[in-house]
Amino acid sequence: MSINALLFTDLSQPSLSCAAYTAIMAKNNPEMKLTIITGSNENCAKKNSSDHWSGYDVKFPQEQKILDRVKQVLENKGYNYEEWQADNCARLAKKLVNYARDNNISTIIMPNHCKEDLKSMPVGHLASSVICLSEIPVVLVRKLSSKVLKEL
């Protein structure tokens, strides 16, 4: 049975690991249609935090490498990949829900902390199930990054 899934993640390191493993799952399941959308809001972007994408280029080259590899795998398989930015999480969530409805997406996958953004959204009109992935500790992400890249 074909699965039309959307992975929504912010650009924190634990979320990147979710993106990588979801891409591996899609790679190993030819019936799975996958869209990965990464999103951040302006507040996240303004933080000079080790946990958000503002520091990736310099501080976290391995995580950026994983994300770049995930993008490459998706493009090679004909998957859709988009990066969104909004001024707040609620707008990102609204855009996500509308995108899922408009594109007949039956499953939304996201890291645990991203589900908070959906709580205020009217998701009832979607035939969607929301799968929340446990986040992988940053230390483990770094240890597994070379293995993940090899697997992809």
Question: What confidence score (pLDDT) does residue 31 get?
Answer: 74
pLDDT, averaged per 10 consecutive residues of the chain (152 residues), comes to 66 60 70 68 45 39 64 68 63 72 76 61 52 58 60 61
Question: What confidence score (pLDDT) does residue 58 get?
Answer: 35
DSSP string for residues in 73-140 = HHHHTT-EEEEEEESSHHHHHHHHHHHHHHTT--EEEEEGGGGGGGTTS-GGGS--EEEEEPPPPHHH
The answer, as to whether pTM is greater than 0.75, is no
What domains lie within the chain, and their CATH numbers?
3-151 (3.40.50.620)
